[in-house]
Amino acid sequence: MMGQAIPDCISEIKKAGAEIIGVNCGNGIVAMIDAVREIRLIEPDMPIMVQPNAGMPDLVDGKIVYPETPEFMASKIRDLIAAGSNIIGGCCGTTPEHVRQFAEKAVNPIKRLLGL
């Protein structure tokens, strides 16, 4: 989004001694899935933290509105995990309800698998 190529960013992050790669904000959760896939191809071992925003904001009746609902974003959490995300949060426009639903999609299948 800011004109930085992912391979260049990863190179600089590693030179600086980072132990985790972080991706935040941007154009919404779907774009983050593609970014994580690209990062994972370049860097197969380093943990990836993702904090997508809730889509591109619009000004509606003088208020900033983010179009990606908690339900929509949560429906993409398993795709983020499959792409290689290790830590998932939220950026601009996400609410506690977004994060609650992210956790529901990410954690509950693991709990069921473990019988918890």
User: Model confidence over 4-28: pLDDT tens digits?
Assistant: 788 999 999 999 999 999 999 888 9
Residue 102 class from Cβ within 10 Å (0-12 exposed, 13-18 middle, 19+ buried)? buried
**Residue 32 domain-assigned?**
yes
**12 is a domain residue:** no
CA 116 vs CA 8, 88, 111: distances in Å: 42, 22, 5
Query: Is residue 40, in this structure, part of any structural domain at all?
Result: yes
The structure's pTM equals: 0.85
- pLDDT, tens digit (0-9, with 9 covering 90-100), for 50-101: 999 999 999 999 999 999 999 999 999 999 999 999 999 999 999 999 999 9
The boundaries of the domain holding residue 46 are 19-94
**Strand-pair category, 48-52 with 21-25:** parallel
Residue 75 falls within a domain, yes or no? yes
Assess if residue 2 is contained within a domain: no
